[in-house]
Amino acid sequence: MKLGLQSGCPFKKPHSMVYVYCSCRGLVYAGVNGKQKIQMYVWNPSTGLSQKLPDPGVTDEYQIFTGFGYVSATHDYKILIANSRLEEGEHAKIRIFSSQSKSWRRIQDSPYSDLSMTVAGILCHEALHWLRFNDDVIVAFDLANEKFRTIALPVVGEEYGCDYFRHVGDFRGCLCVIGLANVTTMDLWVMKEYDKGNSWTKLFKVRVTDQPDEQISFVQPILVSETCIFLEIHTESGSGAKLVRSYHKEEKTKEVHMDRYSREIIGYEESLVWLD
């Protein structure tokens, strides 16, 4: 189930904006902009339960990278957050929320300063993952030991250029990345054995548009699901961004009409779980 969750939030206030970041085991992690800071919440849309989190001390909702996951060995939900508006040479200051301690704490500074290009970390194998464009690697954060590491991207030919990889995701429980072959076609790569660089496999191509005459200026993958990929597409006409589903097997696309901005769409599975 995939959601745009602006409507129905029990903690949404008049004239406020809800920022839906990510979900884990049926729980949604979101923020509401206040006068000077963001108020963070965990919410289960299936039960209606929500919990306001303590103030993490982050003031700019547009300049954070974050992530939400579960550590099965300790039955602990963890949220990572960092403000990434940094001075040159400065590293992001990482804060972790634990459902067991119900508080935020500082850990090591991030060795990376540009993870905000993919704001919400992708949860896979109890680790959060971001695509780091400058070095063409995936940065992983293990939730259990709270350490950063890197994962190599698939090896591709020089003809694809340095900006080939555009998105990291989860495809049927496996880490995946999407590469932009050209403005009309994308490649889906899947890591069949987690953290094994030689297990990267290109499964199929994804169609960006069914209209051959459409002049596309920019394409950004938003979400990978089992049946399709959601794409944000900008055209030369300057009519604004549109959201498109590109179906894997049927090789067709379909425009999706959303009331709000496409990045509010997240992967979500209904459940009855709660933080306690």
pLDDT of residue 89: 57
Domain encompassing residue 133: 16-152
Residue 273 falls inside a structural domain: no
Q: Within this chain, do residues 148 and 169 fall inside the same structural domain, yes or no? A: no
Is residue 276 in a domain?
Answer: no
Q: What's the rounded Cα separation, in Å, for the pair 163 and 56?
A: 33
Q: 179 and 56, same structural domain? A: no
Total domains present in the chain: 2
Local mean pLDDT, 10-residue blocks, the chain (276 residues): 56 77 90 76 90 80 79 95 64 85 83 60 94 81 93 84 84 91 85 94 85 76 86 76 83 72 66 81
In this prediction, residue 97 carries a pLDDT of 95
Q: Does residue 124 share a domain with residue 186? A: no
CATH number at residue 137: 2.120.10.80
Answer whether residue 272 is part of any domain.
no
In a domain, 236, yes or no: yes
- 70 with 127, same domain: the answer is yes
Same domain for 133 and 44: yes
SS3 state of residue 84: coil
233-257 burial: b if 16+ Cβ within 10 Å, else e: bebeeeeeeebbbbebeeeebeebe
Q: Specify the pLDDT at position 230.
A: 87
Q: Assess whether 236 and 212 both reside in one domain.
A: yes
pLDDT of residue 273: 84
Structural domain contains residue 260:
no
Q: Which long-range contacts (CB under 8 A, 24 or more apart) does 68-71 make?
A: 68/21, 68/22, 68/23, 68/24, 68/27, 68/29, 68/120, 68/123, 69/24, 69/123, 69/126, 69/127, 69/128, 69/143, 70/24, 70/25, 70/126, 70/143, 71/126, 71/143, 71/144
Cα gap 133→139, rounded to integer Å:
10
pLDDT for res 114: 54
The whole-number pLDDT of residue 261 equals: 47
Does residue 232 share a domain with residue 193?
A: yes
Q: In this structure, is residue 267 part of a structural domain?
A: no
